[in-house]
Structure 1
Amino acid sequence: MNNLKSHIKISKRFWVGALTVITLYSCVPSKNIREANTNIPEQFKNVSTDTVNTATVKWKDFFSDPNLIALIDSALTNNQELNIMLQKVGMAENNIKAKKGEYLPFVGVYAGADVDKVGEFTRNGAVEKNLTITEEEEFPEPLTNFQVGLSASWELDVWKKLRNEKKAAVLEYLASVEGKNFMITQLVSEIASAYYELLALDNQLTIIQQNLEIQQNALKMIKLQKEAARATELAVKRFEADVYKNQSNKFQIEQKIVETENLINFLVGRYPQPVKRHSEAFLERKIDTIFTGIPSQLLTNRPDIKQAELELSASKLNVKVARANFYPSIGIKAGVGLEAFKTKFITETPQSLAYNLVGDLVSPLINRNAIKAEYANANNKQLQAVFEYEKTILNAFLEVSNHLSEVKNLNESYLLKEKQVDDLTKSIDLSIQLFKSARAEYTEVLQTQREALDSKIEIVETKRDQLLANVKLYQALGGGWN
């Protein structure tokens, strides 16, 4: 009969606990967040749907200049920003270990000693006064106590809160790796861009120096013409002014060369020093064809898109973690060890053996506003991650489209500038010959020289822009990190 009553009491407790859990479940809020829209056009404008993609080419194979390759190699080791990012990746990896440890039992070793004296006219004092350990030994006063053993605590991950935290930490780590890869693509692009800028400046300096020789020869000629009364002082001053102007431009370009070299040195992580390079035959540098593949390949090739996708997945798990805070937490605590009031008894078992086992269930009841706020924040962060993911995809597609158009238009522009430079270069000698024979004014000679110089500077800039556009398109497609 007593067993039956005991069984009825246990059943009542079980059903009360189950009813409490069901009630708590029904009070837990939920919010549906829309899925990210990853639909993008099937192909780029005026590009075939061939899946061959230059983004899969390693950067060491994409660039052919050994000096540029050496600079990038050095930067990947010494660049401070990249090394800072690597530390963040390491911290994200350590966070995985921390989260993994949270859903495993915590086991510790403890040892302690204490002394206790109670009043004789108390319950404990009266009991201890009349106790003896053996016939020869009385109960000690004051009472000492020595203990040593193991303790363990474990939160049962019934609602998968701790496991979801660990999975979110893994995704955040992977996102940080993709963030590092994206930084590498930016670093490679920045170094290549600065390097090509430096080559262009070298060529512009050479053009100005060559043009100065032509102008100085023209100045000598105009002075002779003046002595022969075939030219005026005005013509001499105009020619001198053009020489001074180009001498001034020469110093400006030299300053830009210093600044560009130091930019490269900063990216490589070293103090100012000359940048090794070969600037000859800059205009003859080949512009490689870039194969864009299809837009959907951006989702797998671009590190920033993969990073945004992983962060979105992590935010979904964080919502589950925040929701699990509404549910009761179940914990188990246990300990086992040896305990005695004298050290000589501590090894006598089973008399000195002590152990305990405690289970508890704690559920939020009154102060749920903080938990609701955390849950609302987690949902907002998930929606934010959805928009961030969509924005990254849209930005990637537009970047590729812009650079594709830029490559095409620059190629057309360069062909026309080649013809312009050729015609204007030939016109310099013609204008001088015509001036000598009094069939042209000195202003025509000046104008021809200026236009020829400008056209040569512009074609160098166009070649530079072509090289930069190729690098940017390669980066936009997701190349440069592997």
Structure 2
Amino acid sequence: MKRIALSLAGLGAIVLVVGCRMGPNYKRPVIANSPASFRGITAPDIQQAPGATPLGAQKWNTVFTDPVLQELIAEAIKNNYDVKIAADRVLEQQAQLGITRAAQFPTLSLGGTFTASGGNNTSGSSSTTNSGTSSSSTTGNHQYGGITASAAWNLDFWGLYRRQTEAQRAYLRATVWAQQATYSTLVEDVATDYYELRTLDAALEVTKQTREARQRTLDLTKTLQRGGNDTLADVKQAEELLYAAEANIPDYERQIEQQENQLALLLGRNPGAVKRGWAIADTPHPVAVPVGLPSELLERRPDIRRAEELLVQANANIGAAKAQLFPQFSLSGEGGTSSSQLKALLDSKNFYYEAYGSVSQQIFDGGKLRNNLRYYRAQDQEYIDTYQQTIAGALRDVSNALIAYTKTREYREKQEAQVASATVAVRLADVLYRGGSTSYLQVLTSEQTLYSAQLSLATAQQQEALSLVTLYNVLGGGW
């Protein structure tokens, strides 16, 4: 037994020393025309900021400072089903890596047998002798035992199993980056749905305030009509405006409840109400946004990192496919001991062993192995193109997000100015109408303009908040 073990170990050590690894070693592709900065860095508060922590590298609870939103994101990370599924997939690939890596090592097995028989056996046979006829019988106990050990090792002379392990390890890392992307997407989705919910809340509040204002206008119009200073047509127009506002209320309430259900799903809850925090108008925004450098995206964005790990996997698969073209070597051996007496089972004279090696070379397979190599080379090129496409898409995403962050702020500021102007116009029209200096048409037009401007302002505030959410996500934040 010792001799066979030493022989296998010695030959295996030689293989490990002189064995090679087929195929190219991975090198990150050169990114052509990589920009030095992002397009869209135009506003004073959007900075390249090479010395500051980039927005994408900041923790989500420092970017989103609404305490309720922070609670919701933390709850989603804990309970969301997509996050749980992503974690399950990582565990699956960790186990698969262990399975793949095991092919590099020998397999050992140990077995034993024991047989016992006994009893009193009278056969009834007879024999004739000079003294007469006699019968024969046997009585006794018999025992037999044996221990057998066997070993087998497929030698990784060309690096087949090492390349397969390398490929699986890269796929595990790709799965981990997919998990990080799930976290990032979840943070973005929760923040997006929350801000959309707060925007609907704001629209509902504006609509209720508009209904109250129009109710007061209707009451005034009826009073003036009874005094002969207004017409029935003016009253009906006031009623029409009131009913239009009232009709919008249940529609907003429907949208709010459906949005709550959508948010509850992300939180891992059953459909139900969702806690509120700051109003959409009170949502703060960073005074300065350090976006970092384009080169940092290669290390930060989960989708880019995952695309690169898939490229590493494809590169390793080329080596594995190439190794299959060469002869495959294996060692095996068996040894053990056997005896008809258990107490003599471990005596050296009862030991035996044998060892042998084999080599096999595929002579004809219809081009299977050659085409297998061609397949993985083509896949490697595909993943190179995918990797570069992912980087180009990331640069586009960041540029679009920077432009949106700047322009949505400008849009919100203009909408605030419009609301302020429309509010004054409504107040002046009301005063003139009460004094008989203008028609009800002027009041009607002013109120409609104000209501539309207030709803547009809520949407502008939402777009500004979401532009920060998107910018944070595309810079690789959220995990």
Taking structure 1 as the reference length, the TM-score comes to 0.83
Structure 1 residue 187 and structure 2 residue 186: aligned? yes
User: Does the CA contact (< 8 Å) of 2:25 and 2:315 recur in 1?
Assistant: no
**How far does residue 38 in structure 1 lie from its aligned partner after superposition?**
1.8
Q: Give deviations 1:399-426, integer Å, cap 9, x for gaps.
A: 0000100111111111111111001011
Equivalence for 1:130: none
**How far does residue 245 in structure 1 lie from its aligned partner after superposition?**
1.3
> Which of 412, 415, 421 does residue 414 from structure 1 map onto?
412
The letter for the 1-side match of 2:470 is K
Counterparts of 2:145 and 2:438, CA distance in 1: 114
- SS of 2:157's partner is coil
The residue correspondences of 1:322-341 to structure 2 (distance < 5 A) are 322-340=321-339
**How far does residue 35 in structure 1 lie from its aligned partner after superposition?**
7.1
Q: Give deviations 1:1-53, integer Å, cap 9, x for gaps.
A: xxxxxxxxxxxxxxxxxxxxxxxxxxx9x999997442321111253543231
Deviates more, 1:343-352 or 1:163-172: 343-352
Cα distance, 1:283–1:35 mapped onto 2, change above 3 Å: closer
Counterparts of 2:364 and 2:113, CA distance in 1: 38
- SS of 2:436's partner is coil
**How far does residue 146 in structure 1 lie from its aligned partner after superposition?**
5.6
The letter for the 2-side match of 1:463 is Q
User: Does the CA contact (< 8 Å) of 1:37 and 1:390 recur in 2?
Assistant: no
Equivalence for 1:124: none
The letter for the 2-side match of 1:95 is Q
**How far does residue 113 in structure 1 lie from its aligned partner after superposition?**
7.4
Deviates more, 1:47-56 or 1:304-313: 47-56
**How far does residue 366 in structure 1 lie from its aligned partner after superposition?**
1.2
User: Does the CA contact (< 8 Å) of 1:49 and 1:293 recur in 2?
Assistant: yes
Cα distance, 1:420–1:46 mapped onto 2, change above 3 Å: same
More strand by share: 2
- SS of 1:43's partner is coil
Aligned pairs, how many?
424
Cα distance, 1:379–1:227 mapped onto 2, change above 3 Å: same
User: Does the CA contact (< 8 Å) of 1:338 and 1:346 recur in 2?
Assistant: no
User: Does the CA contact (< 8 Å) of 2:94 and 2:172 recur in 1?
Assistant: yes
- SS of 1:154's partner is strand
Cα distance, 1:77–1:285 mapped onto 2, change above 3 Å: closer
Give every structure 1 segment of 4 or more consecutive aligned residues whose post-TM-superposition deviation is greater than 6 Å: 30-35
Deviates more, 1:217-226 or 1:398-407: 217-226
Q: Give deviations 1:146-184, integer Å, cap 9, x for gaps.
A: 642211111111111111111211111111111111111
The letter for the 1-side match of 2:106 is P
**How far does residue 239 in structure 1 lie from its aligned partner after superposition?**
1.5
Cα distance, 1:85–1:343 mapped onto 2, change above 3 Å: farther
> Which of 355, 362, 377 does residue 375 from structure 2 map onto?
377
Equivalence for 1:38: 31
User: Does the CA contact (< 8 Å) of 2:24 and 2:315 recur in 1?
Assistant: no
Q: Give deviations 1:182-208, integer Å, cap 9, x for gaps.
A: 111100000011111111111111111
Equivalence for 1:94: 95
Cα distance, 1:67–1:242 mapped onto 2, change above 3 Å: same
The residue correspondences of 1:390-401 to structure 2 (distance < 5 A) are 390-401=388-399
Equivalence for 1:300: 299
- SS of 1:230's partner is coil
Equivalence for 1:15: none
- SS of 1:283's partner is helix
Equivalence for 1:438: 436
Taking structure 2 as the reference length, the TM-score comes to 0.84
**How far does residue 114 in structure 1 lie from its aligned partner after superposition?**
9.7
Equivalence for 1:473: 471
> Which of 386, 389, 407 does residue 387 from structure 2 map onto?
389
Equivalence for 1:160: 159
Equivalence for 1:262: 261
Deviates more, 1:227-236 or 1:377-386: 227-236
Identity across matched positions, percent: 25
